[in-house]
A = this chain, B = another copy of it.
Amino acid sequence: MPQKPIICTIDVVLLCLQGSALHVALLKRDKPPFEGGYALPGGFIHPEEDADTLDAAARMLNEKTGIASPYLEQLCTFSGAARDPRGWSISIVYYALVPAELIKPDRAPGLQLQPVDQLRTLPFDHKEIVLAAVERVRSKSSYSSLPVYLCGEQFTLPRLQAVYEAILGEPINKVSFRRKMDELDMLEPVEGALEAGRANRPAQLYRLKNQYRNRLSLSGRAMTANSDH
């Protein structure tokens, strides 16, 4: 008897900030298993169509949410006999960070944002997957440009600092923050652009340098909350 093939899927953990809380995008499942439940956007690899799993993840994210994320990174692979009632399965998981404005529910019916720190039970092992992605994002954020993907194209330094603080979950000393930004050397001022709607002392707007649009700027040292080291 030929062996049942292993089920090969991709899941994408799409994260954004609402207020100061990290949220994950979930989609209402329209077929079994777990029909009607909210789960990560994902699906089967299409060998005829996808060059590799990164390509498959980008296709799925776009098909299911209408989003083309500039940053999509592999988290890791979840696997086993127990995680999917249909059989032995593999899910190669990717994560993406985007500004909340980019997530448009009219482009993706059944899409819902849930705060990652108050997740209810999810289908399959998706809760475990989301928590692993959040842990990766939090640890990677402390020494990289990763949180910038949560901002829109242009932002002030105080806004960016607030985003870092939201991810790291603690206040950051302003001097350390500015020093870390200098070290990461990833930002450039938008010439002549000041934050709109602030009469007094409008703040300069910044954007990511071109070379960091699709890849991270990394620092050898983690940002320490409220510390100057």
A112 contacts chain B at the CB level, 8 A cutoff: no
Q: Which residues of A contact B (CB under 8 A)?
A: 3-6, 8, 45, 47-48, 51-53, 55, 74, 76-77, 79-82, 87-88, 90, 92, 220-222, 224, 229
What is the predominant secondary structure among interface residues of chain A facing chain B?
A: loop
Contact between A47 and B222 (Cβ–Cβ < 8 Å)? Answer: no
Report, nearest first, the 3 A-B pairs whose CB atoms are least far apart: A52-B80, A47-B88, A5-B5
8 Å CB contact of A229 from B47, B48, B229: B229
Residues of B within 8 A of A74 (CB): 76-77
- Is A3 a contact of B80 with CB atoms below 8 Å? no
Query: A150 to B133, alpha carbons, bound, how many Å?
Result: 29
Known: A47-B3, A88-B47, A222-B220. A53 touches B81 (CB 8 A): no
Residue of B nearest to A80 (CB): B52
Give 21 A-B contacts (CB < 8 Å), ordered by A residue. A3-B47, A4-B47, A5-B5, A5-B6, A47-B81, A47-B88, A51-B80, A51-B81, A51-B82, A52-B79, A53-B79, A53-B80, A74-B76, A74-B77, A76-B77, A77-B77, A90-B90, A90-B92, A221-B221, A221-B222, A229-B229
